[in-house]
Structure 1
């Protein structure tokens, strides 16, 4: 079976779910090069100013593919939302869902997780970080 392209389009087409049920785990770096994992729904983007404010830092930037691999052991597009010893911030819109789908460790796998478990397992702070 040929899989549809893209980490967001693939689960939408295969599972028949909407973008707001998909989560994106995006690694950022602060000005001291500390990693921060931001989790938002598939229909949203991370507002870097809001993320920096929540983390009490001046500025954040998206991590490079090399930095993502170094700090998490995963490739971009496969990054699971849990299992990291990294500061994690979940956008409050994620918690509107009971269950969400995110990176499962490879580009061809998904993790289905209850949002209450996501928050607990990621030891995450929940705040407004989406634009």
Structure 2
């Protein structure tokens, strides 16, 4: 997490790292814990495609991911959820705590996150959550495209 904090500070980003003593495994758990709209939760998902690995940062109210729609929208031959060991290999963290900030991974971003001043997502470290403005997520990642 030191690398993340260093990046956030160097870019003069307004953020907060919130520590919690319980694991948060779903968008609904996050919304309940922080007392926020479920849409403000922002899980980061990792996909394996024919063009390499991609991240998808979605609003917690997105619903089920339609892989065929993503495949067509981003002109991919193949797309599937990365396996747990692949997620760890690519991001350095386990599923459920993948950071919102992964500058080295091309990222698709849900435009619906911009409804909020702050969203909450992973830091790369279990039982910590990053509170950050979606525009800063956009600025610090390599955005390859948008959904919604």
TM-score by length of 1: 0.85
Q: Deviations over 1:67-124 (max 9, x none)?
A: 0011110100000111341110001112222210001222201001101101010121
2:25 maps to 1:6: yes
Q: 1:65 aligns with which of 74, 84, 87?
A: 84
Greater mean alpha carbon deviation, residues 39-48 or residues 102-111? 39-48
For 2:142 and 2:50, the matched residues in 1 are separated by: 22
- The answer (yes or no) to whether the contact 1:23–1:42 under 8 Å persists in 2 is yes
1:116 to 135, 139, 144: 135
What is the CA RMSD across the aligned residues, in angstroms? 2.0
**Partner SS for 2:77:** coil
Other-structure match for 1:48: 67
The residue matched to 1:119 in structure 2 has which SS? helix
Consecutive unaligned residues of structure 2, counting only runs of 5 or more, are 1-19
> Unaligned 5+ residue runs, structure 1?
none
TM superposition outliers: structure 1 runs of 4+ over 4 Å: none
> Given the two structures, how large is their TM-score scaled by the length of structure 2?
0.76
How many aligned positions are there? 128
